[in-house]
Amino acid sequence: MKALVFERNLPRFAASRIASALAGSGHGVAVGPLELLEVDPPTLPGSGWVRLEPRLAGICGSDLATLDGRSSRYFEHLVSFPFVPGHEVVGDVRGGTLDGRRAVLEPVLGCEARGINPPCAACASGRKGGCERIAFGALAPGLQTGYCTDTGGGWSTGLVAHESQLHEVPADLSDEAAVMVEPAACAVHAACSTAPPSGASVVVLGAGTLGLCTTAALRHFCLPGTLVVAAKHPDQRRLAGELGADHVVEPDEVVRAARRLAGTLALGRQAGRIERLAGGVDVVYDCVGSPQSIEQSLAVVRPGGDIVLVGMPGTTKVDLAPLWQREVRLRGAYAYGAEERPDGARSTFDLAFELVRASRLERLVSAAYPIERFEEAVAHAAAAGRRGSVKIVFDLRRKSRGRTPNEEAE
Amino acid sequence: MSPRPGFVLEVDRSTPQTLFWRGEGFGLERLPVGSRVIYGPEPLPALKDPDAAIRHALDHPLGDSAPLRSLLHGGMKLTIAFDDISLPLPPMKSPDVRQRVIEAVLDLAAQAGVDDVILIAALALHRRMTDDELRHALGTRVFDAFAPHGLLLQHDAEDPSELVHLGQTEEGEDVELNKRAVESDLLVYVNINLVAMDGGHKSVATGLASYKSLKHHHNVRTMRASKSFMDRHHSQLHTSNWRMGKLIAQAGVKIFQIETTLNTDTFPPEMRFLQRREWEWTARDRASFYASSKALDRTPPELARRIFHSVKAPHDLTSVQAGEVGAVHDETLEHVFRQQLVPVEGQTDILTMGLPYICPYNVNSIMNPILVACLGLGYFFNLYRGRPLVREGGVVIMSHPTPWAFNPVHHPSYIDFFEQVLAETTDLLEIEAKYETAFATDPWYIHLYRTSYAYHGVHPFYMWYWCAHALEHVSKVIIVGGDRAAVRRLGFSPASTLADALEMASDVVGRDPSITHLHTPPLLIADVQ
């Protein structure tokens, strides 16, 4: 079978890091440790495991960070090499109770998938994203499918999945909609785990896949008073408005927009030039995860407010004095599991399916590439915003190796 | 030789190219044959002895006012309010006419033994003046005598303890004014009447008022019904101010109005070609034009801005009148019209105008896109009496670089207005209903207005409303040479050249439109028959 394999190869890793640093994200893939290879299908690790033949597999921001060599060293102990990337997957199930059906992969490799019994406290409570055993058990370390050497990943024609990881896709839901369920689940978890109080002022930084899904999730599951989204590119701005933003602003306008929204005073070295707000908005969802976005979050959140890190950060130098002095809560939002809703606990993925349907998130799938053109696909994903795109996917459907209607339209 | 009156030139094949201002620069454009160019009257001669004229006016007041010296006495409370940095344009060479008048008033006050005197810059919702600007307007002697002792104030429309509500007019308009001015035994107001819009009851009722008061006439409905601002009897803006003036008088506020008019000698000798008719340019004028326009093309915008804003106009005093507000203002208008009025036969399909680097609200600052719109559509479009120069449904073409640039100290709320409000809608009534109150009451804007040098939070709204009459009247507005994104944000159409703009206008006015160019500055008022 064909698979894009990411090897532990330090010279190529360094070359990728240098190339992406010099030429921009996505440019390191040609010299990096990712290769298209013919490999044996992964072995089924045990009972309860089935094969999954991907139809579509998305390229995520965390994948790009890995390919660029920008990922935090924190993950060193949470991955195993070589691995096949790809954790946003919709595919056909081969074996088990869902044999022959389409399913979306919930990629976290928690206690159940790892054969650990009794499960850790997080898994026992349904909060799989917080699993404490992701480097232990019957599988090699790997926080998710797509980072574990034993499971394979979505950027291939075959992987293995534990049945507990699979969510059947209703017949009327397109592959494009289904592949958006995993990123939507991340956004649902961000919105529900730190839900803004009713009527709260909210800022979402970033309008890539995560920012747009978070915007949609906040509008669908929460009752924010006013929702401001910072979006860099025209199509992102249009989509943010369509998905529920009250105001969409340029990234360099967000501090002023937040000040206006909060009706607060502001501070700066010169009157009229704002560096940070005296008050601020209630909640900031940082869907970028860069040092600049974290600084900006701290500049616009009110004392006692919340910052939710939705985008994956790395090693970051940030002045935390405002966090301390203003008693701001900084919280991560990773993955999924179960969310507390007014009608009780609900699976994040169930809520994500609901969101994808309600907000028609399949519109975010902008282009699909055959796996053989992975360098183009990654370059496109890295420049998605500039090119008027959002989600770039690999199209692994056997009968379709050409460009999809979405891609043709682009 | 007496100065020549205004003139309407019809462009023919031999007509030289016409000067168009483009912000901090200018150029020559060839207008189509048959176009008209309106030139203002030449500058009227200066009063030979302006100080004597001022003293004479104070001793021989108009209307039912007594001479100023008889209104002054020991133990009284005297307040002298004066126009702020927005007048005159460009700022005039020293001595500023405010200095001359205020020194004369203070001389009389001193003779009468008045020792409770306060000077107030009548800012309304404009930014505060810097010490240098105050020193220039008032002269060093007055500034040093008052400022260090806290006797030179700037009106603060957001200080409730320094405002007093006098009541409502018969139309329900609140009149809330500066407390010190109202509670004085005599309020002397010193005007510079650069255009016909200035002065009269608008001086006190606007210059010393609060937002609560100003919003009754600075709104879309009133602006649309002011046709034009230069024609008091057809301007709802003025009608409202006159109602307020009546209430102010009924409340017992005693005002001694001093109004001054200036000639249109706008530029210093080395830039004099800018106010001459092109076919009369001398070889030296042509050389000055080419040298300065080429140099400006290569000058960074910020430096060009600094150069232009250092220009001091040689304006001379052409009249001064004092006494009762209405009588004084009627006389003032005669002088303004004598200097600026140009009879024009009929309207035009396309009105072109070159917008200079300065308007009342960007002295020593950046002409941001909202001010570009206001200067073109709020001020220049309204430089008419009778009917607008451009016909209803016609096109206005303005030339200005319209940079997406703001002075964050002077215009903080403008940035937000441009980024948020105009990004959502350019509709005047929607903007007024949805956003005005929030901006007007925003504590940060109020803080900056009171403590820094910021225009009030509501000011960009007023600038946009100022365009209301024009926006309702014309079908299309085109800006030549402007930043495309900024021009589009304003809701206008960008064009690279005048020829392109005329081509674009043909969609609205057909292939053979009449074209009229407003050749200003220097200022003029078209008396459209």
A130: domain CATH number is: 3.90.180.10
Output the six-digit token pair for B89.
């344009």
- How does pLDDT run across B165-190, given as a tens digit for each residue? 999 999 999 999 999 999 999 999 99
Is the domain of A133 the same as that of A233?
no
Is the domain of A144 the same as that of A96?
yes
Per-residue confidence (pLDDT) for residue B1, from 0 to 100: 66
Max Cα–Cα distance, chain A, nearest Å:
67
What are the DSSP calls for A238-286, one per residue? HHHHHTT-SEEE-GGGHHHHHHHHHT--EE-SSTT--SEESS-EEEEEE
CA distance A57 to chain B (A): 37
Output the six-digit token pair for B407.
């002075």
Cα A338 vs. chain centroid, distance in angstroms? 17
Is the domain of A175 the same as that of A193?
no
- How does pLDDT run across A237-292, given as a tens digit for each residue? 999 999 999 999 999 999 999 999 999 999 987 777 899 999 999 999 999 999 99
CB contact under 8 A, B442 and A260: yes
Is the domain of A376 the same as that of A326?
no
Give the mean pLDDT of B253-275: 96
Is the pLDDT at A404 greater than 60? The verdict is no
CA distances from residue A101 to A47, A54, A145 in whole angstroms, order as listed = 19, 12, 20
- How does pLDDT run across A133-186, given as a tens digit for each residue? 999 999 999 999 999 999 999 999 999 999 999 999 999 999 999 999 999 999
CB contact under 8 A, A270 and B438: no
Range of the domain at B123: 50-262
- With respect to residue A354, please indicate whether it lies within any of the assigned structural domains: no
- With respect to residue A142, please indicate whether it lies within any of the assigned structural domains: yes
Is the pLDDT at A409 greater than 50? The verdict is no
CA distance B450 to chain A (A): 11
Backbone angles phi, psi at B301, to 5 degrees: -55, -40
Give the mean pLDDT of A55-72: 92
Domain CATH code at residue B93: 3.40.50.11440
Per-residue confidence (pLDDT) for residue A22, from 0 to 100: 83
Closest partner residue to B447 among A247, A250, A265, by Cβ? A265
- With respect to residue A347, please indicate whether it lies within any of the assigned structural domains: no
Query: Which of the residues B415, B444, B445, B451 would you substitute to probe the A interface, choosing the one with the greatest number of A C-beta atoms within 10 Å?
Result: B444
**For residues A271-310, b (16+ Cβ closer than 10 Å) or e, as one string?**
bbebebbbbbbbbbbbbbbeeebbbbbbbbbbeebbbbbb
E strand residue ranges, B157-306: 163-168, 174-178, 186-190, 255-262
Is the domain of A386 the same as that of A264?
no
Percentages helix, strand, coil for chain A (3-state, rounded to 5) are 35, 25, 45
Per-residue confidence (pLDDT) for residue A399, from 0 to 100: 52
CA distance A264 to chain B (A): 6
Are the C-beta atoms of residues B442 and A260 closer than 8 Å to each other?
yes
Give the mean pLDDT of A287-315: 96
CA–CA separation, B282 and B290 (whole Å)? 12
Give the mean pLDDT of A295-307: 97
Domain CATH code at residue A235: 3.40.50.720
- With respect to residue B402, please indicate whether it lies within any of the assigned structural domains: no
- With respect to residue B187, please indicate whether it lies within any of the assigned structural domains: yes
CA–CA separation, B35 and B350 (whole Å)? 10
- With respect to residue A350, please indicate whether it lies within any of the assigned structural domains: no
Residues of B in contact with A257 (CB under 8 A): 416, 419-420
Q: CB contact, 8 Å: B130 with chain A?
A: no
- With respect to residue A54, please indicate whether it lies within any of the assigned structural domains: yes
Helix axis angle, A291-300 to A254-262, nearest 10°: 20
Which residues are A220's β-sheet partners?
A: none
**Bridge pairing between strands A365-369 and A391-395:** parallel
- With respect to residue B122, please indicate whether it lies within any of the assigned structural domains: yes
Per-residue confidence (pLDDT) for residue B348, from 0 to 100: 98
Is the domain of A337 the same as that of A386?
no
Residues of A in contact with B443 (CB under 8 A): 263-265
- How does pLDDT run across B327-380, given as a tens digit for each residue? 999 999 999 999 999 999 999 999 999 999 999 999 999 999 999 999 999 999
Average confidence score pLDDT of chain B: 97
- How does pLDDT run across B385-431, given as a tens digit for each residue? 999 999 999 999 999 999 999 999 999 999 999 999 999 999 999 99
- With respect to residue B21, please indicate whether it lies within any of the assigned structural domains: no
CA distance A321 to chain B (A): 23
Output the six-digit token pair for A369.
């590439």
Please state the domain count of chain A: 2
Residue A15: how many CB atoms within 10 A of its CB?
Answer: 17
CB contact under 8 A, A265 and B443: yes
Q: CB contact, 8 Å: A257 with chain B?
A: yes
Q: By percentage, how much of chain A surpasses pLDDT 90?
A: 86
Nearest of B320, B89, B105, B325 to residue B205 by alpha carbon: B325
Q: By percentage, how much of chain B surpasses pLDDT 70?
A: 100
Is the domain of A134 the same as that of A217?
no
Output the six-digit token pair for B398.
């303005």
Q: Which of A341, A369, A400 is the last residue of a domain?
A: A341
Residue A96: how many CB atoms within 10 A of its CB?
Answer: 17
Is the pLDDT at A17 greater than 90? The verdict is no
CA–CA separation, B314 and B85 (whole Å)? 16
Is the pLDDT at B485 greater than 70? The verdict is yes
Is the domain of A243 the same as that of A320?
yes
CA distance A287 to chain B (A): 22
| pLDDT top residue among B145 and A29 | B145
- With respect to residue B295, please indicate whether it lies within any of the assigned structural domains: no
| Residues in chain A, total | 410
| Eight-state DSSP code of residue B346 | S
Omega before residue B412 within 30° of 0, cis: no
- With respect to residue A57, please indicate whether it lies within any of the assigned structural domains: yes
| Closest-approach residue (CA) in chain B for A250 | B419
| Eight-state DSSP code of residue B281 | -
CA–CA separation, B190 and A14 (whole Å)? 74
Output the six-digit token pair for A193.
């785990």
Q: By percentage, how much of chain B surpasses pLDDT 90?
A: 99
CA angle (A377 as vertex; A375, A382 as ends), nearest 5:
95
Please state the domain count of chain B: 1
Residues of B in contact with A256 (CB under 8 A): 415-416, 419
Residues of A in contact with B410 (CB under 8 A): 272
Per-residue confidence (pLDDT) for residue A13, from 0 to 100: 83
Per-residue confidence (pLDDT) for residue A400, from 0 to 100: 46
Residue B470, amino acid: A
Q: CB contact, 8 Å: A253 with chain B?
A: yes
Is the domain of A66 the same as that of A121?
yes
- With respect to residue B189, please indicate whether it lies within any of the assigned structural domains: yes
Is the domain of A95 the same as that of A235?
no
- How does pLDDT run across B435-444, given as a tens digit for each residue? 999 999 999 9
Range of the domain at A73: 2-179+360-409
Are the C-beta atoms of residues B355 and B311 closer than 8 Å to each other?
no
Is the pLDDT at A406 greater than 60? The verdict is no
- With respect to residue A355, please indicate whether it lies within any of the assigned structural domains: no
Omega before residue A82 within 30° of 0, cis: yes
Is the domain of A242 the same as that of A333?
yes
Average confidence score pLDDT of chain A: 93
Under 8 Å CB-to-CB from B71, ≥6 apart: which residues? B65, B186, B254, B256
Per-residue confidence (pLDDT) for residue B529, from 0 to 100: 87
Are the C-beta atoms of residues B69 and B108 closer than 8 Å to each other?
yes
Under 8 Å CB-to-CB from A10, ≥6 apart: which residues? none
Per-residue confidence (pLDDT) for residue A19, from 0 to 100: 83
CA–CA separation, B154 and B146 (whole Å)? 12
Nearest of B299, B315, B381, B326 to residue B348 by alpha carbon: B381
| Residues in chain B, total | 529
Is the pLDDT at A402 greater than 60? The verdict is no
Are the C-beta atoms of residues B346 and B2 closer than 8 Å to each other?
no
- With respect to residue A102, please indicate whether it lies within any of the assigned structural domains: yes
CA angle (B372 as vertex; B489, A267 as ends), nearest 5:
75
ipTM comes to 0.82
Is the domain of A235 the same as that of A135?
no
Q: Which element (helix H / strand E) includes A187?
A: helix A181-193
